[in-house]
């Protein structure tokens, strides 16, 4: 771990009343990392809380100790963001803190270094892996609770160690975490395997709405509010639909476009091969993320958003894949 990063992290650990910010629509990596860091401060007798825009999906609430909403709970003396590449990713509920972030701990190579001190390791599989390396380098004890949170973070962002961001170091880190006492299979099962019946029904019906372009290289799934309501489904029932469609044979890039309650379109992009960079597409609309997993928000109607996204993808699709 870079010594300058360690120095910044040691400074962070001197503070009390710590506000930990994560990105909007929080996922397993940002939550696991943030709650691991929260535990670090609590073990030192300090006060810390985690805040996010949006609610926590049901399959991730074991990470947040059951909390569905994460709000600031006190006036902080220091603000740290975890797994947040840009200020915009904080979302509207945390916009007031966007220009006051003291420390950023992240693994997105697209991080804009908006904090006073930026600890960004683009080669890491996850923010959880970055935090683990910081804790070890700074001789901070990793107890069973911290280990479980970090394991959840890393398992989530590596797709349970199936994605290409999983490295030998990632496996070494998780091997060390597994030396602690927690139920690793239960962590994975809660995140990936347990879903309500309503979600399975929604997945079956949603497949009829697939838009397939360029001889199957581009797969888009629009999900409108009207469609959700007609199925008696919730946002959580479609939160991981993009992982389902990325399994389609022959696809180069897949995306779900979900109409928000505000009428905008939230896009989740995944690269299904080793070539296409979805972060470049997300950047067109002010979003970002990783080469193989990114997201953005398009302020437009669903039909316009589908067409704009399709064109942005096709502009970057290799000529031999275009239909």
CA contacts within 13 A on the Cβ side of 205: 16
CA–CA gap between residue 22 and residue 53 (Å, rounded): 8
Cβ–Cβ under 8 Å, residues 111 and 120: yes
CATH assignment of 197-321?
Answer: 3.10.310.30
Q: In the chain, count of helices (H) and strands (E)? A: 11, 11
pLDDT digits (tens, 9 = 90+) for 197-212: 877 887 888 888 899 9
For the chain, the domains span 3-193, 197-321
Q: What is the pLDDT of residues 105-120, one digit of tens each?
A: 999 888 999 999 999 9
CATH code for the domain defined by 3-193 = 3.90.1640.10
Q: Which residue has the higher pLDDT, 263 or 83?
A: 83
Quote the CA–CA distance of 144 and 290 in Å, as a whole number.
Answer: 30
pLDDT in tens, 9-25: 999 999 999 999 999 88
Backbone torsions φ then ψ of 66, nearest 5 degrees: 95, -10
pLDDT of residue 291: 82
| Of residues 201, 254, 271, the one with CA closest to residue 230 | 201
What's the pLDDT band for 259 if we cut at 50, 70, 90? very high
Residue 137: alpha-carbon gap to chain centroid: 25
Q: What is the mean pLDDT of the chain?
A: 91
Checking if the pLDDT of 287 tops 90, the result is no
Q: What is the mean pLDDT of residues 278-285?
A: 91
Query: Which of 120, 41, 42 has its CA nearest to residue 81?
Result: 120
Backbone angles phi, psi at 35, to 5 degrees: -75, -25
28-32, 200-204, 271-275, 312-316, range with the lowest pLDDT: 271-275
Structure tokens at 231: 């199925």
């Amino acid at each position: 771990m870079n010594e300058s990063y360690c120095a910044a992290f040691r400074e962070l650990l001197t503070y009390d009343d710590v506000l930990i910010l994560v990105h909007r629509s929080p996922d397993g990596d940002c939550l696991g990392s943030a709650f691991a860091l929260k535990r670090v401060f609590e073990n030192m007798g300090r006060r810390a809380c985690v805040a996010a825009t949006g609610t926590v999906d049901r399959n991730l609430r074991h990470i947040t100790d059951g909390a569905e909403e994460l709000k600031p709970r006190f006036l902080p003396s220091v603000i740290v963001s975890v797994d947040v590449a840009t200020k915009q990713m904080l979302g509207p509920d945390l916009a007031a803190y966007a220009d006051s972030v003291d420390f950023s701990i992240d693994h997105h190579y697209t991080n804009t270094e908006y904090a006073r001190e930026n600890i960004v390791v683009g080669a890491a599989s996850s923010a959880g892996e970055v935090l683990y390396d910081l804790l070890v380098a700074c001789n901070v004890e990793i107890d069973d609770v911290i280990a479980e949170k970090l394991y959840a973070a890393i398992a989530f962002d590596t797709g349970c160690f199936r994605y290409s961001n999983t490295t030998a170091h990632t496996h070494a880190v998780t091997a060390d975490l597994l030396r602690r006492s927690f139920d690793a299979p239960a962590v994975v099962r809660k995140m990936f395997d347990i879903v309500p019946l309503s979600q399975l029904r929604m997945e079956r019906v949603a497949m009829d709405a697939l838009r397939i372009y360029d001889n199957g290289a581009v797969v888009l799934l629009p999900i409108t509010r009207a469609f959700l309501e007609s199925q008696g489904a919730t946002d959580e029932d479609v939160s991981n639909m993009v992982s389902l469609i990325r399994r389609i044979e022959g696809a180069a890039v897949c995306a779900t476009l979900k109409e928000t309650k505000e009428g905008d379109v939230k896009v989740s992009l995944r690269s299904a091969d080793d070539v296409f960079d979805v972060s470049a597409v997300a950047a067109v609309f002010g979003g970002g993320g990783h080469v193989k997993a990114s997201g953005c928000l398009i302020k437009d109607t669903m039909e316009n958003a589908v067409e704009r996204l399709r064109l942005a993808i096709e502009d970057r699709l290799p000529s031999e894949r275009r239909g």
